[in-house]
Chain A
Amino acid sequence: MAYLPLADQEQELHHPHSWVTKYVWSQDHKVIAIQYGGTAIAVGCVALVLSLLMRMQLGFPESFDFMDPNSYYQSVTMHGMIMVVYLLTALFLGGFGNYLIPLMVGARDMVFPFLNMLSYWVYLLSVLILMASFFVDGGPTGAGWTLYPPQAAMAGTPGHDMGIILMLVSLVVFIVAFTMGGLNYVTTVLQGRCRGLTMMRLPLSVWGIFVATILGLFAFPALLVSAIMMIFDTLLGTSFFMPAVIESGTPLDHNGGSPILFQHLFWFFGHPEVYIVALPAFGLVSDVLSTHARKNIFGYRMMVWAIIAIGGLSFVVWAHHMYVSGMHPYFGFFFATTTLIIAVPTALKVYNWVLTLWEGNIRLNAPMYFAIGFIFTFIHGGLTGLFLGNVVIDLPLSDTYFVVAHFHMVMGVSPVLVLFAALYHWYPKITGRMFHSGMAKLHFWCTFLGTYAIYLPMHYLGFLGVPRRYYALGTTDFIPQSAQDLNTAITIAALFVGTSQLLFFINIFWSLRNGKKAGGNPWGSASLEWQTPDTPPIHGNWGDELPTVYRWAYDYSVPGAHEDFISQNTPESAEPTVDEQHFDPDIDQPLADV
């Protein structure tokens, strides 16, 4: 029996009956998206504050009571882990994935709404466990976000008793939450699309989120495996990763474990994780750029292929994080090659973004500012990656501020600029109101110029050889006083950028009441999520009838059209028609063998 495709069934929606089921225990993907997003941003603010505390220590050493070596390393660790996993992963996939996938594929909700709700609450639990580590004896772990054993579990590292356990448990819980959400996103994209919507008619946002989710489903298990084995090592005294070591003069009861095995597992997760964050950003920014340039995304097919290629390649480059880890040096040849190969599809994406602007009709509004700013920072961050990926250049630069500057540029600033672009871009759909444009642009200038002032000079500290993860530089024979001055300047820029993020919060809360009504499709966007009958979309999204898709998501400035965009659900003629002329049995049948 052929299964009734999902979008054709009248999906049974769990309609809320009270305030609590509507806003708290909600199974509506849009509410869950906002819950995910709100939690992620809140915990991200904690991480932002931690980074400012670190910068104050580095910029003005010995001036602040609240920073000692212990709390510095705890801040380093928590800042990194929160930003990478609990903010960026959760916000891109749990937040934007949840909000956009059903709307963009023309579905009423996720395929498994209950599982979706569960995913959020389990995620919240993981966040709470993580935050609890701030309050336990010994505080959170200070092992660095990489949590390398044996150090993470040994005296001499902050939070080596409770802190590291809570961190590992929190990660395991997070992975459970992610898997529940991820299965949902993937199944919804594959099975829940409305009629006429082929995979190649999907907006790139969906492609980015879809491939990133698959990467997550395959990569997080590596973190799960390493976390479980490390919990065993710490609590049960096994020796998976723990070799014979001496702790404060006393030999520990471990023998023979391999710390490098942990590193392989960690980075087998850790490198795809970069793309779990980057691919949704690539997708979202493509849609923002295309909409506001009033031009189709240039080379759509190439963009999809690049996303898939980058996703695949990201599983064979992990050991470029380990060039100087003491692993067999011959691995360096292989991983340097794969790493530099991945630059080609990535560069192609950049070219296509710029070529999307070429001969466009670019509206320079706030989302577009952030999107174009992203292209600039991503070019910068991508190019510095070519230094570190090239194994021999990694020798002098590894573990210096060059690395810090590089990954903040490529994985901090760039995705965050996309986040802001996307938040501003979809804000009218989410809330039904426009944000304050001037304030948003001011926010852009502070963030864009400010972060560049932080990270451009930081690369040069790395060239000089200033090591990362140093609480204080102390005296050396090669670091001049001017480097300390530069650190001070960077800190001032960081404090400025950190504070200026208030503009964003003021804006989104102020506009909630005072923004002018946005209407259904203020940007004149062609993709499906802007064509909902209600704005903000109500539970069920589409009113009585699901939409039908007649074209791809990028029909902007089509020659001969009345307007400069044609929405995806606009038919060629008044009557819905099957395109008989081009009927292709391979494509027009369900793809059972994919």
Chain B
Amino acid sequence: MSFIKNIAVKPWERKGIIGGLRPVGTFDTAPEKVALVFFLVVASVVFSLFTVSYIIRMELPDWRPLSDPAQLWLNTGLLVISSILLQWARTIVQTEARKHLISAFIGGGVFAILFIAGQMNTWQDLQATGNYINANPATSFFFLLTGLHALHLLGGLWVWSKSSIRLIAGSKPEEIKLSIELCTLYWHFLLIVWLAMFAMLANT
């Protein structure tokens, strides 16, 4: 626990340069990645608080469980493929290679778009069967949580589209390496959030 050790030092006792002649960040990584990790923590807090609200609301007497549309299984599959493709792109770019990079990275995004399309289809099906957003708290939460998740994914796709354009335009892999790494991290995060959310929605 060097953090504990670090804040236990008596800073007035030591003079001179600490940490060698080069400045050191607290984490040995790109600042963008630090910021993204913090953002993911913030987003986790958002999703956790919704989960807590969901559980508390579920306890109240007017709760009617939602029968899960079968399409969600298909959508889950799409998102898993999307994540796998991005992970593949990340592995490629680690080796500074270029082969299959475009198909892996672009493919990952395309499957994410397909996932969102699938989600939209689910929403339409629900509405068609009378499960409007205000029909009962379970449907309210369903629309709210899936919508929020889709919104996060759209934010990711915006970054993805910028990187894709650069990739197609012929940027060197090392130039967009960081971008691909961050996208992959973000995609995995959203996959985990989705799986947790799906598990919760499916079991209650």
Tell whether any CB of A sits under 8 Å from a CB of B in the complex.
yes
Q: Using CB atoms and an 8 Å cutoff, list the residues of chain A in contact with chain B.
A: 2-3, 5-8, 111-112, 179, 183-184, 186-187, 190-201, 217-218, 221-222, 224-225, 228-229, 232, 236-240, 253, 255-258, 261, 264-265, 268, 296, 300-301, 304-305, 308, 546, 548-552, 554-555, 571-572, 576-579, 582, 586-594
Measured in the bound complex, the distance between the Cα atoms of B28 and A253 in whole Å is 55
What's the nearest-Cβ distance from chain B to residue A188, in Å? 8
Asked if A550 and B17 sit within 8 Å, CB to CB, the answer is yes
Asked if B25 and A593 sit within 8 Å, CB to CB, the answer is no
Does B95 have its Cβ within 8 Å of any Cβ on chain A?
A: no
Which residues 45-82 of B sit at the A interface, judged by CB distance below 8 A?
Answer: 45-46, 49-50, 53, 56-57, 60-63
Asked if A239 and B35 sit within 8 Å, CB to CB, the answer is no
Interface footprint category on B:
35 or more
Asked if A191 and B61 sit within 8 Å, CB to CB, the answer is no
- Select one of A179, A261, A550, A578 contacting B53, CB under 8 A: A261
Does B154 have its Cβ within 8 Å of any Cβ on chain A?
A: no
Does B23 have its Cβ within 8 Å of any Cβ on chain A?
A: yes
Render B1-43 as a binary contact track against A, CB cut-off 8 A, 1 for contact.
Answer: 0110111111110111111111111111111001100110110
Asked if A238 and B137 sit within 8 Å, CB to CB, the answer is yes
Asked if A578 and B26 sit within 8 Å, CB to CB, the answer is no
Asked if B39 and A579 sit within 8 Å, CB to CB, the answer is no
Asked if B18 and A196 sit within 8 Å, CB to CB, the answer is yes
Closest to B141 in A: A240
Measured in the bound complex, the distance between the Cα atoms of B6 and A165 in whole Å is 46
Does B201 have its Cβ within 8 Å of any Cβ on chain A?
A: no
Measured in the bound complex, the distance between the Cα atoms of B52 and A229 in whole Å is 13
3 A-B pairs with the lowest CB-CB distances in the bound complex, closest first: A256-B62, A579-B16, A191-B25
Chosen A-B contacts, 18 in total, with CB atoms closer than 8 Å, are A8-B22, A186-B38, A190-B27, A191-B25, A193-B25, A200-B11, A201-B11, A239-B62, A239-B137, A551-B12, A555-B12, A586-B5, A587-B6, A590-B25, A591-B6, A593-B3, A594-B3, A594-B27
Whether A239 touches B23, Cβ cut-off 8 Å, given contacts A217-B38, A225-B49, A552-B11, is: no
Does B140 have its Cβ within 8 Å of any Cβ on chain A?
A: yes
Render B135-162 as a binary contact track against A, CB cut-off 8 A, 1 for contact.
Answer: 0010010001000100000000000000
Asked if A3 and B29 sit within 8 Å, CB to CB, the answer is yes
What's the nearest-Cβ distance from chain B to residue A584, in Å? 8
What's the nearest-Cβ distance from chain A to residue B8, in Å? 7
Query: What are the residues of chain B within 8 A of A305 when measuring CB–CB?
Result: 7
- Select one of B12, B17, B22, B140 contacting A579, CB under 8 A: B17
Asked if A240 and B53 sit within 8 Å, CB to CB, the answer is yes
Render B110-143 as a binary contact track against A, CB cut-off 8 A, 1 for contact.
Answer: 0000000000000000000000011001001000
Which residues 78-123 of B sit at the A interface, judged by CB distance below 8 A?
Answer: none
Asked if A577 and B17 sit within 8 Å, CB to CB, the answer is yes
- Select one of B25, B34, B56 contacting A261, CB under 8 A: B56
- Select one of A179, A301, A308 contacting B8, CB under 8 A: A301
Asked if A225 and B50 sit within 8 Å, CB to CB, the answer is yes
Asked if A229 and B53 sit within 8 Å, CB to CB, the answer is yes
Asked if B45 and A199 sit within 8 Å, CB to CB, the answer is no
Asked if A239 and B140 sit within 8 Å, CB to CB, the answer is yes
Most buried by A among B19, B20, B22, B28: B19
Main secondary structure on A side of the interface with B: loop
Whether A255 touches B62, Cβ cut-off 8 Å, given contacts A8-B22, A198-B18, A554-B12, is: yes
Asked if B25 and A3 sit within 8 Å, CB to CB, the answer is yes
Closest to B22 in A: A8
Whether A179 touches B23, Cβ cut-off 8 Å, given contacts A198-B11, A238-B137, A240-B140, is: no
Asked if A582 and B42 sit within 8 Å, CB to CB, the answer is no
Asked if B38 and A548 sit within 8 Å, CB to CB, the answer is no
Query: What are the residues of chain B within 8 A of A237 when measuring CB–CB?
Result: 133-134
- Select one of B20, B34, B38 contacting A588, CB under 8 A: B20
Asked if A576 and B8 sit within 8 Å, CB to CB, the answer is no
Query: What are the residues of chain A within 8 A of B41 when measuring CB–CB?
Result: 217-218
What's the nearest-Cβ distance from chain B to residue A553, in Å? 9
Closest to B59 in A: A258
Measured in the bound complex, the distance between the Cα atoms of B4 and A301 in whole Å is 12
Query: What are the residues of chain B within 8 A of A221 when measuring CB–CB?
Result: 42, 45-46, 49
Query: What are the residues of chain B within 8 A of A589 when measuring CB–CB?
Result: 19, 24
What's the nearest-Cβ distance from chain A to residue B135, in Å? 9
Asked if B28 and A6 sit within 8 Å, CB to CB, the answer is no
Asked if A190 and B134 sit within 8 Å, CB to CB, the answer is no
Asked if B2 and A593 sit within 8 Å, CB to CB, the answer is yes
Asked if A183 and B6 sit within 8 Å, CB to CB, the answer is no
Measured in the bound complex, the distance between the Cα atoms of B24 and A549 in whole Å is 12
Query: What are the residues of chain A within 8 A of B11 when measuring CB–CB?
Result: 198, 200-201, 300-301, 552
Closest to B6 in A: A587
Query: What are the residues of chain A within 8 A of B133 when measuring CB–CB?
Result: 232, 236-238
Measured in the bound complex, the distance between the Cα atoms of B17 and A196 in whole Å is 4
Given A551-B15, A571-B16, 12 extra CB contacts under 8 A:
A8-B22, A191-B27, A192-B31, A193-B23, A221-B46, A232-B133, A236-B140, A268-B49, A301-B11, A589-B19, A590-B25, A591-B26
Query: What are the residues of chain A within 8 A of B63 when measuring CB–CB?
Result: 256
What's the nearest-Cβ distance from chain B to residue A519, in Å? 26
What's the nearest-Cβ distance from chain B to residue A48, in Å? 32
Asked if A111 and B35 sit within 8 Å, CB to CB, the answer is yes
Asked if B26 and A594 sit within 8 Å, CB to CB, the answer is yes
- Select one of A8, A228, A300, A576 contacting B12, CB under 8 A: A300
Asked if A586 and B16 sit within 8 Å, CB to CB, the answer is no
Query: What are the residues of chain B within 8 A of A239 when measuring CB–CB?
Result: 62, 134, 137, 140
Asked if B22 and A5 sit within 8 Å, CB to CB, the answer is yes
What's the nearest-Cβ distance from chain B to residue A578, in Å? 5
Closest to A555 in B: B12
- Select one of B5, B29, B57 contacting A240, CB under 8 A: B57
Asked if A591 and B18 sit within 8 Å, CB to CB, the answer is no
Asked if B28 and A579 sit within 8 Å, CB to CB, the answer is no
Measured in the bound complex, the distance between the Cα atoms of B11 and A555 in whole Å is 10
Asked if B38 and A183 sit within 8 Å, CB to CB, the answer is yes
Measured in the bound complex, the distance between the Cα atoms of B25 and A551 in whole Å is 18
What's the nearest-Cβ distance from chain A to residue B116, in Å? 19
Whether A578 touches B21, Cβ cut-off 8 Å, given contacts A225-B53, A304-B7, is: yes
Query: What are the residues of chain B within 8 A of A236 when measuring CB–CB?
Result: 133-134, 140
What's the nearest-Cβ distance from chain B to residue A330, in Å? 16
What's the nearest-Cβ distance from chain B to residue A112, in Å? 7
Query: What are the residues of chain B within 8 A of A195 when measuring CB–CB?
Result: 17, 19-24
Query: What are the residues of chain A within 8 A of B57 when measuring CB–CB?
Result: 240, 257-258, 261
Most buried by B among A184, A253, A261: A261
